[in-house]
Structure 1
Amino acid sequence: MSRILYKSNSDKVISGVCGGIAEYFGFNSTTLRILVFLFMPITFWPYIALLILMPSNNLL
């Protein structure tokens, strides 16, 4: 069974992008949020693209 990358409904601060990525890869979402913040000039546009393109997990 394949896994699908979704925005998180339970672990979100802004939109659930970092929470969804952390759930998919199985690590701490706070660590990912800190990395995204530290590398904001690099991660800004990919984050916006994922915000638009990632589907929401409406199963919960």
Structure 2
Amino acid sequence: MIKLIDSIPANPSSGKPLKGHKQGCYSLRSGDYRIIYEVYPSQELIHIIRVGHRKDIYR
């Protein structure tokens, strides 16, 4: 999981773009777990919102 999070800055748009109330966020998979994050390119910032099991992460 840590390696996947560490890989985000190299390619921030590699995650799946989310829709609905999480529009503007991305999701990365690691088995049954998901990492939800936002990218702020002008500030060179990546904000990790949640890390959790896929059954709970989108609630």
TM over 0.5: no
TM-score (norm 1): 0.24
- Which protein, 1 or 2, shows the higher relative CO under an 8 Å CA cutoff with sep ≥ 6? 1
Q: Which is richer in helix? A: 1
When normalised by structure 2's length, the TM-score is: 0.24
